[in-house]
Chain A
């Protein structure tokens, strides 16, 4: 097959071609001709849903000389590789807990009737960079009950998150047997042909529908096509061996109260996923529902103390994750330098369910860090601008994402 290296290969071309083995962790042939190999960039977005006590998180001074607060103290060793934000929120995103599903979408008014979510930051990014890896993105959750997620498709449908670290590990690293692979491929092929069939049925139905309804039925057809493409890509990946890791498979922790341990376990598998280039986009929804009561502390000292202890443990877990990434070398840099880690919460004060002045930080990825960017707490700066900066860092060329009006003021690419 003729590869015209003057033109970057489109995804369609890559999918159509057979027999190209992807041995490299990233596709050099995807690059524009004449450039040197670009750095593979990753993104991890984490939401802890029930707030972060503001007075233990936000530093007083803005700039480079801010004093570390109790929570930021837990991340002290990564100070130069992270930026802390204050006075930011997602414009129009209100409604207390309703905002949890808008952390990566920024869609305003989730508490109103007729709400439809927009595409989330990770899915948007995955559309562009996801094709480079076996898994375009991973949507994960640390939760005991229910199926919350940070990831939403273009049509606003939620993508259920994987809750089990052991299942995730299996999905990423456990080889299927040859007979399993064949069975999988056959199942995928039959799946595709069934989708072809039902897609045709929707075309038939579509002819009987009027304009607005045609669009809705088109959504079905688009979903069919999307799933077909994924099955096809999955088929190709069936033939490639999964990455080898030395680690043993983790055992899931069932006790919902052990949410710190559960978080750490998920972080471990996430680090393996990034290290093995199984994916470059990960979202993690941390649901601290088990301590929901004390997040409504009402300023009672003993509840505040209990909550602070739990949140400090959360920051310790985050520190562990950042340290693990920073300890992994890749071509003279560390994995942390190439992985943006966003950590924050959709409620500025969980006690009052307020959605302004969100505690958020960004670590790694290749920015000029080491500062506290303090914006106006009375008149918040849009957090969605940060998301645009993050997309640019990933190499996604776009002027628009969600409610962003531009890139994040004061945050420069390194």
Chain B
């Protein structure tokens, strides 16, 4: 009598079922039958229904576990190698065959992600700073990335927002004046900002001239200055003196240049001069080193009153000791934007309040570092051509003439309402627009230029005629030419030809290849050169990587693969981690991005993902990591001292932060992160009804002790023997990536904590708790003493690391998961890369050359 499983297999008509059935009966059915369904698997009842995704996934898992030898478990007899090969071979063929029937391996048609949309519009219209992403609904995530068709639903809400975004784009793109707005240079002083007026009066800032105290305005001493009005009348604050600021921005105060608000969105050149010094109760001395001044772009709400204006950081700039350094930046400013300033590398201190909060005798009683801003200059808007390229994209070389007709073009003028700004708009005389003599012929010509560029592929005459017909209809309804063309341009930007990646089935054609390449490495549409030579793979990949736009790839990929997008998800506990600051957080992200860039630039191999003899650091991070000799906020390559625990992604603060919750670390979370994102072996989810662990922040019990059940209980250990070890090794690092051999605790019974590298002005109230035990053993029972040998052992498995990175990049660049049938091609990419040294830059080239990339 045939056993039930064999009967079921034969009934499905598959050949060579008997040896496979015999294999299961001999080696598997004891634990995986109806009574003892270990791991919830009952092989006697398991059908073969490869069309069902869950069933298919189960069979893939069975294949993988038999192939790697993980099943049968170690304690059971080993099946003969020939049998294993027969079974996995049979399964392999059957699964691939089923997948092809299901066409599961193909990239589904998908729309642009939010960032792809924004970058595409920015590049197409030459509006490098237009802000569109935030107005679009968030994308989902599938297989780790948002550019997968499973992650990209569309609803009426998306469409409504696309319409708004298109309007915003066209408003900015269309020129409304015959000549460019005059470019002016505005020189701004912090002294005229509202807050430093108060701060200057009270003592959190002071006026300086030629690196000395400004003689007309002594620093605040036992009393603050009085009568601000009198000072203003005397013009004390209008003398373009330098302003030295002690106070770090906080929830009640930040500094911005409120006498300027950009009137015209566009390119601007910003120059800013900074220096730093040590202040000692009235004496100006050399500072402890180069400090970091932060510039940000601030957007005024409405009329500029009040605080909490949205802003984003431009960057961190050197403020050398007693030497003014001028920084030159090319910046895009949108309407009503200005610049903000912060003394980023200084510890938060408040001088002007009296009593325990502040500083006795204010500035004159204070000793500490200070950053001075001499001035900031904003020059612009800079237009090298007029009308701008955005306008030429839409209207070609049609001249702008004064409109005298009945229905003027529909425009939404921007209202300059920010109170107190000194730059005023130029009055616009008359209404200027394009009015071709033969509108329909002009429309046809303009659309013939625009549509293929926007749609990233040739557009048939019939389709273009449909657009022209709409222009005709609008003209007949009484619209002027500009308004009629706006109608079709808006429609084009909302049409699926623009919003979706349109790729032919199977082998990609030239346009689709070019688009895939540019969306991979530039997160945007291809440029003319790429469209001309899409199959010149090596040259083009090199060109795309060398272009600054490739930074978008690094940011977008790392943001998802290493979860950098969640860097701000938790604020570290202020008592436990008082040294944390936004400057530290920004530096962390910059480090990880720069490191990945360096791996690509130097074509380092996959071992460098985990271990390296260098790091990309600025002074803030170097001090945080206990590395000396690095000065200033710029990120640069630093050779690590021997025996340094740093090097590789796992010991970078950003990665350590996104795998913690701001208060406590969890070896399980970090371990699962390493397994899933570095090794490509995501752990199984926990069984239901397992209670969550309540961490003990009092510090009496370590997390390791709380997780003891993972070792003690065999069922738990089956997974946690794999998950926990990386997490234990990484216990040597706290939630902000600092190294620790003892946990920080708030328990009164803890030992006093040494200051270490924490800024002398920051108060420390945490204590030292239990010792950190970062030792452990891998699932294969190899032991490690701590992070250093853990990293060595992990880095030795370059093949696994490379294969996982290859898989992540393939998922990212093709917009689909790597299916079972794709594995052969993926393994081929890895093998070819390894033959050429295993470098990551080589990997990028090999991915592009692979059929996985070149077919849909």
Instruction: Name A residues whose Cβ lies closer than 8 Å to a Cβ of B.
Output: 94, 97, 109, 112-117, 147, 153, 155-160, 190-191, 194-195, 197-198, 200-202, 204-205, 209-210, 212-213, 216-217, 219-220, 223-224, 226-227, 230, 254-257, 292-293, 296-300, 349, 351-354, 378-379
Could you pull out 29 A-B pairs where Cβ atoms are within 8 angstroms?
A: A113-B142, A115-B141, A116-B150, A153-B157, A155-B154, A155-B155, A156-B153, A157-B157, A158-B157, A194-B163, A197-B470, A198-B494, A198-B496, A201-B463, A201-B496, A210-B505, A216-B108, A219-B153, A254-B307, A254-B308, A293-B663, A296-B661, A296-B664, A299-B696, A299-B698, A300-B697, A349-B694, A354-B691, A378-B689
CA distance A205 to B504 in the complex (A): 11
Whether a CB of chain A sits under 8 angstroms from the CB of B665 is no
Among B110, B141, B158, which residue has the most Cβ atoms of chain A within 10 A?
B158
Among B155, B490, B499, B817, which residue has the most Cβ atoms of chain A within 10 A?
B155
CB-based nearest A residue for B572: A293
Whether A113 and B496, one on each chain, are in contact in the complex, defined by CB atoms closer than 8 angstroms, is no
Cβ-neighbour of A158 out of B137, B505, B746 (below 8 A): B137
Whether B137 and A352, one on each chain, are in contact in the complex, defined by CB atoms closer than 8 angstroms, is no
CB-based nearest A residue for B479: A190
Q: Which residues of B contact A219 (CB under 8 A)?
A: 153-154
9 extra interface residue pairs, beta carbon distance < 8 Å, beyond A116-B153, A159-B157: A114-B143, A153-B157, A156-B153, A160-B137, A201-B466, A210-B505, A220-B111, A227-B156, A379-B689
With A197-B470, A254-B308 given, is the CB distance from A217 to B109 under 8 Å?
yes
CB-based nearest A residue for B155: A157
Whether A115 and B140, one on each chain, are in contact in the complex, defined by CB atoms closer than 8 angstroms, is yes
CA distance A159 to B155 in the complex (A): 9
CA distance A198 to B502 in the complex (A): 15
CA distance A297 to B575 in the complex (A): 12
Whether B155 and A223, one on each chain, are in contact in the complex, defined by CB atoms closer than 8 angstroms, is yes
Consensus secondary structure, chain B interface: loop
Whether a CB of chain A sits under 8 angstroms from the CB of B369 is no
Mark B101-113 against chain A: 1 for CB-CB distance below 8 A, else 0. Answer: 0010010111100
CA distance A223 to B155 in the complex (A): 5
Cβ-closest 6 pairs across A and B: A298-B697, A157-B155, A226-B156, A354-B692, A227-B156, A352-B692
With A296-B662, A296-B663 given, is the CB distance from A230 to B156 under 8 Å?
yes
Q: Which residues of B contact A201 (CB under 8 A)?
A: 463, 466, 495-497
Whether B153 and A197, one on each chain, are in contact in the complex, defined by CB atoms closer than 8 angstroms, is no
CB distance from A102 to the nearest CB of B (A): 13
Cβ-neighbour of A227 out of B140, B159, B697 (below 8 A): B159
CA distance A205 to B111 in the complex (A): 13
Q: Which residues of B contact A254 (CB under 8 A)?
A: 301, 306-308
CA distance A224 to B491 in the complex (A): 12
With A201-B495, A353-B692 given, is the CB distance from A223 to B573 under 8 Å?
no
With A205-B502, A298-B663 given, is the CB distance from A352 to B695 under 8 Å?
yes
CA distance A362 to B496 in the complex (A): 43
Q: Which residues of A contact B574 (CB under 8 A)?
A: 293
Q: Which residues of A contact B689 (CB under 8 A)?
A: 378-379
Whether a CB of chain A sits under 8 angstroms from the CB of B423 is no
With A115-B141, A198-B491 given, is the CB distance from A223 to B663 under 8 Å?
no
Whether a CB of chain A sits under 8 angstroms from the CB of B10 is no
Whether a CB of chain A sits under 8 angstroms from the CB of B571 is yes
Whether B502 and A160, one on each chain, are in contact in the complex, defined by CB atoms closer than 8 angstroms, is no
CB distance from B110 to the nearest CB of A (A): 7
CA distance A216 to B494 in the complex (A): 16
With A114-B142, A156-B140, A194-B491 given, is the CB distance from A217 to B496 under 8 Å?
yes
CB distance from B455 to the nearest CB of A (A): 10
Q: Which residues of B contact A153 (CB under 8 A)?
A: 153, 155-157
CB-based nearest B residue for A206: B496
CA distance A87 to B55 in the complex (A): 32
Whether B571 and A293, one on each chain, are in contact in the complex, defined by CB atoms closer than 8 angstroms, is yes
CB distance from B499 to the nearest CB of A (A): 8
Whether A223 and B108, one on each chain, are in contact in the complex, defined by CB atoms closer than 8 angstroms, is no
CB-based nearest A residue for B306: A254
CB-based nearest A residue for B152: A216
Considering only residues 689-727 of chain B, those with a C-beta below 8 Å from chain A are 689, 691-698
Q: Which residues of B contact A354 (CB under 8 A)?
A: 691-692
Q: Which residues of A contact B156 (CB under 8 A)?
A: 153, 223-224, 226-227, 230
CA distance A147 to B574 in the complex (A): 26
Q: Which residues of B contact A256 (CB under 8 A)?
A: 308
With A116-B153, A194-B494, A223-B159 given, is the CB distance from A298 to B142 under 8 Å?
no
Among A156, A157, A160, A292, which residue has the most Cβ atoms of chain B within 10 A?
A157
Whether B158 and A223, one on each chain, are in contact in the complex, defined by CB atoms closer than 8 angstroms, is yes
CA distance A157 to B573 in the complex (A): 34
CB-based nearest A residue for B569: A97
CA distance A378 to B574 in the complex (A): 35
CA distance A113 to B140 in the complex (A): 10
Cβ-neighbour of A216 out of B110, B157, B692 (below 8 A): B110
Whether B140 and A298, one on each chain, are in contact in the complex, defined by CB atoms closer than 8 angstroms, is no
CB distance from A89 to the nearest CB of B (A): 11
CB-based nearest A residue for B574: A293
Q: Which residues of B contact A160 (CB under 8 A)?
A: 137, 157
CA distance A212 to B160 in the complex (A): 25
Q: Which residues of A contact B106 (CB under 8 A)?
A: 212
Q: Which residues of A contact B151 (CB under 8 A)?
A: 114
Q: Which residues of A contact B144 (CB under 8 A)?
A: 113
Q: Which residues of B contact A116 (CB under 8 A)?
A: 140, 142, 150, 153
CB distance from A53 to the nearest CB of B (A): 12
With A158-B137, A198-B496, A298-B695 given, is the CB distance from A114 to B150 under 8 Å?
yes
Cβ-neighbour of A191 out of B142, B163, B495, B692 (below 8 A): B163
Cβ-neighbour of A300 out of B160, B571, B698 (below 8 A): B698
CB distance from B701 to the nearest CB of A (A): 11
CA distance A201 to B491 in the complex (A): 10
CA distance A292 to B695 in the complex (A): 16
Whether B496 and A220, one on each chain, are in contact in the complex, defined by CB atoms closer than 8 angstroms, is yes
Cβ-neighbour of B573 out of A293, A299, A378 (below 8 A): A293
Whether a CB of chain A sits under 8 angstroms from the CB of B753 is no
Whether B159 and A113, one on each chain, are in contact in the complex, defined by CB atoms closer than 8 angstroms, is no
Whether a CB of chain A sits under 8 angstroms from the CB of B149 is yes
CA distance A133 to B521 in the complex (A): 48
Q: Which residues of A contact B466 (CB under 8 A)?
A: 197, 200-201
Among B463, B495, B695, B697, which residue has the most Cβ atoms of chain A within 10 A?
B495
Whether a CB of chain A sits under 8 angstroms from the CB of B561 is no
CB-based nearest B residue for A255: B308
Q: Which residues of B contact A212 (CB under 8 A)?
A: 103, 106, 108
Whether A298 and B696, one on each chain, are in contact in the complex, defined by CB atoms closer than 8 angstroms, is yes
Whether a CB of chain A sits under 8 angstroms from the CB of B86 is no
CA distance A381 to B495 in the complex (A): 46
Q: Which residues of A contact B111 (CB under 8 A)?
A: 220
Whether a CB of chain A sits under 8 angstroms from the CB of B570 is yes
Mark B135-148 against chain A: 1 for CB-CB distance below 8 A, else 0. Answer: 00110111110000
Cβ-neighbour of A194 out of B487, B661, B664, B698 (below 8 A): B487
CA distance A157 to B161 in the complex (A): 13
CB-based nearest B residue for A211: B103
Q: Which residues of A contact B692 (CB under 8 A)?
A: 349, 352-354
Q: Which residues of A contact B306 (CB under 8 A)?
A: 254
Whether B138 and A147, one on each chain, are in contact in the complex, defined by CB atoms closer than 8 angstroms, is yes
Whether A223 and B154, one on each chain, are in contact in the complex, defined by CB atoms closer than 8 angstroms, is yes
CA distance A155 to B156 in the complex (A): 10
Considering only residues 528-571 of chain B, those with a C-beta below 8 Å from chain A are 569-571
Q: Which residues of B contact A217 (CB under 8 A)?
A: 109, 496, 500
Q: Which residues of A contact B141 (CB under 8 A)?
A: 113, 115
Whether A209 and B150, one on each chain, are in contact in the complex, defined by CB atoms closer than 8 angstroms, is no
CB distance from A217 to the nearest CB of B (A): 6
Considering only residues 745-760 of chain B, those with a C-beta below 8 Å from chain A are 746
Q: Which residues of A contact B495 (CB under 8 A)?
A: 197-198, 201-202
CB-based nearest B residue for A109: B685
CA distance A29 to B431 in the complex (A): 52
CA distance A158 to B573 in the complex (A): 31
